[in-house]
Structure 1
Amino acid sequence: MAKVFIYGTLKRGFPLFDKGMAGTSYLGDYQTVARYPLYIAQDFFGPVMLNQPDTGLQVRGELFDVPEDQLPTLDELESVGTPGSFRTTLEVEPVGGGERHSAICYFKDESWLHPLHSDHLSDYQDSRFIPPWQR
């Protein structure tokens, strides 16, 4: 199992959850230890988090145990392999305190910020996202 920190459209109740997170185990509400820039961007109003620690805000999300063989599905949903989209690890902690974990997180680079629809966010809750199958 791999720990994966989800902050956007793969969270419970969001459009990509059923496609990407079926068969995973929800571990709780977590936040990044460091601050990161999180925005709403692109024509499809997607959450975009940049791998720029100590910029932006602590980002809230959900931590899951994900079977290793499911990571390619998440990579596909997160466009890993296309320019500016990748995964790496970061440190997260439970909201309200507790044991820290290293977790996989999906990031984009600044090329994904056009057009930009928000300032820094700490908790993605936007409902304007257009899933890939509706674009």
Structure 2
Amino acid sequence: MSETILVFVFGTLKKGFPLHRRGLARARFLGSYRTARKYPMLIAGPWFAPMMLDEPGHGLHVTGELYLVDSVILARLDRLEAVGRPGNLRRLIRITPERFGPSCDAFAYLKSRFLASPAHTGYLASYDDRRFVPPWRR
């Protein structure tokens, strides 16, 4: 990898979930992390997607996985996450390891609240729901 970028994922991009192979199969897994600040994360929308809202300081500390990616993988993730469309954002956030080690900044894919309708859950600290409908099944 030429340029290396840290990406924190908390939903369908995690290992064992529908978008992992398409987005992160060639990325390097660095460990389990959680958000340093609280964020509202819930299952929402017509496809039962996990959404972490761009509202730091509200909700819960969200757990997920940290990956080291290059610019090609980051561009693929941006397409999967619809970055550039209204309400679909990639932001740097602070994360901390679940066990040991220093905190760091990593990109995370956040949503604007208007995309979280209808809401199917309250706020969640971790994602393990299996109702997500991937794009190829819609």
TM-score interval, normalised by the smaller of the two chains: over 0.9
Query: Scaled by the length of structure 1, what TM-score is found?
Result: 0.97
Correspondence for 1:83? 86
Three-state SS of the structure 1 residue aligned to 2:73 is: helix
Amino acid at match of 1:39: L
Q: Distance in 1 between matches of 2:64 and 2:16?
A: 12
Quote the offset at 1:22 in angstroms. 1.7
Distance in 1 between residues matched to 2:23 and 2:99, nearest whole Å: 27
Give the TM-score, by structure 2 length: 0.95
C-alpha distance in 2 between matches for 1:26 and 1:96: 15
Q: Is the 8 A contact 2:54 2:113 kept in 1?
A: no
1:47 partnered with 2:50: yes
Matched with 1:8 is 11
Deviates more, 1:90-99 or 1:41-50: 90-99
RMSD (Å), alpha carbons = 0.8
Specify the alignment match of 2:130 in structure 1: 127
How many pairs are equivalent? 135
Aligned partners of 1:96 and 1:35: how far apart in 2? Answer: 18
TM superposition shift of 1:62: 0.1
Deviation at 1:83, TM superposition (A): 0.9
Unaligned runs of 5+ in 2: none
SS of alignment partner, residue 54 of structure 1: coil
